[in-house]
């Protein structure tokens, strides 16, 4: 049985430093689509199922729409695209070390070094 990225659904959480405030789904969408700036953003690899699932769940966008949005924002000099890290553990570690960082990981990769700002499902 094979799964396309559209049928893949993971329990994802948006995480921040333990001192961060919780976020709404609209705030997360605005942050990850470059509409609002909010510190350092971390992404999972563009080709991963979790990347596609996050943008679908958080912003209702597919991978090509997200790439197009960020290409326009970066080209116009308004902001830098989120930094892509290799996996959830790398994102969790980077967010734990930076009070101004936001990322997303699978719920199963959580520990108490970070705070859940929003649960997606």
Task: Please write the tens of the pLDDT for every residue from 18-55.
Answer: 999 999 999 999 999 999 877 899 999 998 999 999 99
> In this structure, is residue 54 part of a structural domain?
yes
Q: Say if 2 falls within a structural domain.
A: no
Question: Domain of 84?
Answer: 22-120
Query: pTM score, two decimals?
Result: 0.89
> Residue 62: inside a domain, yes or no?
yes
- Tell me, yes or no, whether 76 lies in a domain: yes
pLDDT-based confidence at 9, cuts 50/70/90? low
User: What percent of the chain shows pLDDT beyond 90?
Assistant: 83
Triad 110, 112, 116: Cα angle to 5°: 60
> Looking at residues 69-91, what average pLDDT do you find?
94
Q: Kindly report the CA angle at 72 between 68 and 77, in degrees rounded to 5?
A: 150
Structural domain contains residue 95: yes
Q: What pLDDT shows up at residue 121?
A: 78
pLDDT score of 112 more than 60: yes
Is residue 51 within 8 A of residue 63, CB to CB? The reply is yes
Assign 96 to helix, strand or coil.
helix
In the chain, % of residues over pLDDT 70: 93
**Residue at 9 is within a domain:** no
Domain annotation covers residue 45: yes
Position 12 in a domain? no
Residue 2 predicted with pLDDT over 80 = no
Query: What is the domain count for the chain?
Result: 1
How do residues 46-69 score in pLDDT, each as one tens digit?
989 999 999 999 999 999 999 999
Residue 52 maps to which CATH number? 3.40.190.10
């Amino acid at each position: 049985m094979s799964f396309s990225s559209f049928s893949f659904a993971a329990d994802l959480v948006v995480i921040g430093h333990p001192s961060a405030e919780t976020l709404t789904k609209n705030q997360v969408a605005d942050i990850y689509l470059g509409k609002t700036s909010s510190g350092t953003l971390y992404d999972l690899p563009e080709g991963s199922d979790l990347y596609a699932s996050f943008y679908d769940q958080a912003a209702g966008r597919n991978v090509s729409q997200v790439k197009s949005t960020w290409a326009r924002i970066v080209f116009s000099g308004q902001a830098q695209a989120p930094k892509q890290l290799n996996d959830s553990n790398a994102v969790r570690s980077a967010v734990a070390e930076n009070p101004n960082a936001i990322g997303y990981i699978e719920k199963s990769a959580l520990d108490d070094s970070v705070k859940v700002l929003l649960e997606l499902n």
